[in-house]
Amino acid sequence: MKNLNFYVGQQEVIKHKIRESDITKFVDLSGDRNPIHFDKSFASQVNLKGPIAHGMLGVSFISSVIGNKLPGPGALWLSQSLDFLSPARVGDNLTITVKVKSIFELENVLVLETVITKNRGELVTRGTAKVKVLKGTSGEAPSKHDSKKVALVVGGSGGIGSEICRQLSNDGYKIMVSYKNNDLGAANLLEQIRSANGHCESFRSDLSSIEEVETLISTTRNLFGGISHVVFCASATLENRNFKELAWEDFQLQLNVHLRIIFEVAQRVVPIFEENGIGNIIAIGSTITDDPVPNWLPYLTAKNSLLGFMKGLSKELGPKNIRVNVVSPSAVETSLTGNFSERSKLISVEKTPLRKLTVPSDVAETVVFLASSHSSQITGQNLRVNGGVR
C-alpha cells in the first residue's frame, strides 16, 4: 500500500515579479549587503549592466512551493543542489516550477526537479531537491468526506468573522481563518474552537498579494482536503469624513478590501467548486446600501460595488451549482463601531425595524443558514439582518 499520494511528473508552479522592496527586505533579513545587488554604479563597474537580485532570493520561492504546494505542509527539506545560470533583476517575472522526479515510498521521500525561469523562459536557476514527507501530514490522500464541509473565512479574526467561524465549527465545518494583523484574535479563536473539539487553522496574510491568495488556497486544500465554502467578512477602518475631505485613495482602500480581495479569492476558488460540482460563496454587506449614511461615501461605494459583483456572479455560477449570496446587517456592535457616540448608536437603532443593534451572532446565524442544505435553492440574494428595504 502506498504511503505517498504523489506521482512522477506531478508539478506545481508559482509566479513572482521581483520588486525593489524584495531586494531591500532580503538584504535586511540575510545581512548580504554586496553592492552588486543595489548599487547601480558598482554593478556597472563589474560588467553586470546594473544590479542583480540575490540568487537565494529566487531559491526562497522554491521553498514556498515545497512548503505550501508540493509536497506541502509537513515537508522536510533534506537537500538541494543549485546551478545559477543567469541573473534576475528588479522587474523580471519569475516562474518557479517544482516537479516530482522520483519517489522513495519506504523512506517517504520525494526527489524534485526545481527550475526558475524569467520573462520569456530564460533559465535562471536549476537544481534537484530531496524532501521527506512527514507521516500524518500532507502526502496522505484526503478523503472525499473531508472536503464537503470546509469553510475558508476571510477576515475571520474580527468580531463578526470570529463568531461566524465559531458557529460554522459548531455545525461541523473545518475552518481556515484568514486574517491580516489580528494575531491575538486569531490565536484566541483557534483556542476556543479547538477546545470545543473543532478543526481550525489560521493563515496570516495580506491578500492584496496574488501570491499570498494562491498560497492561502493551496494551504487550505492541503490541510483539509478541499474547500466547499468561502465567507468574506474582512473590513477596513471606517472614517467619518465629508466629500470635500476625501481623496481617491480613500475609495481605493475600501474597494480593495470589499471587492478586490473577493474577486481574487473567488476567481481561484471557483475552479475547485466546478470540479466538485458544488460550492458556496457568502459575503458580508451592509444595510447602508439601502439607507446611506452621510460622510461614509467610500464605504457606501464599496458595499454597493460588492452587491453588484455578487448578483452578477450568481447569474454566471448558478448553472454550475455554485451559490452566491450576501448577508447585510444593520450597524453591528463590534470594535469597528466601538468609537461611535451613544447618540449615533441610538440613531442607528431607531432606523432598524427591530429597534436594536445587531450583534455578531445574528449575522453568523444567517451565514450558517446560507451555508447549509436548508438554503440549497437560494442564490443571488441579499439577506438583510435587522434591516428593512426602503
pLDDT score recorded for residue 181: 86
pLDDT score recorded for residue 104: 86
Degrees, nearest 5: CA angle 19-23-27 = 165
Return the amino acid letter for 74. Answer: G
Residues of the chain with pLDDT under 50: 1-2, 137-147, 335, 337-338, 345, 388-390
pLDDT score recorded for residue 49: 84
Q: What is the pLDDT of residues 53-85, one digit of tens each?
A: 999 999 999 999 999 989 998 899 999 999 999
Q: What is the pLDDT of residues 310-329, one digit of tens each?
A: 999 999 999 999 999 999 99
Q: Can you tell me whether residue 258 is helix, strand or coil? A: helix
pLDDT score recorded for residue 145: 37
178: nearest Cα among 231, 137, 111: 231
pLDDT score recorded for residue 264: 96
Q: Considering just the CA atoms, what is the radius of gyration of the chain in Å?
A: 24
Instruction: Find where cell 434591516 sits.
Output: 387
The CATH number of 11-133, from 2.20.25.570, 3.10.129.10, 3.40.1710.10, 3.30.450.20, is: 3.10.129.10
What fold characterizes domain 144-385? Answer: Rossmann fold (3.40.50)
Domain ranges in the chain with CATH number 3.10.129.10? 11-133
pTM of this prediction exceeds 0.85: no
Q: Can you tell me whether residue 365 is helix, strand or coil? A: helix
The span from the CA of 69 to the CA of 28, in Å, is 27
**Whether 372 contacts 325, CB under 8 Å:** no
pLDDT score recorded for residue 349: 56
Q: What is the DSSP string of 336-348?
A: GGTTS-HHHHHHH
Domain ranges in the chain with CATH number 3.40.50.720? 144-385
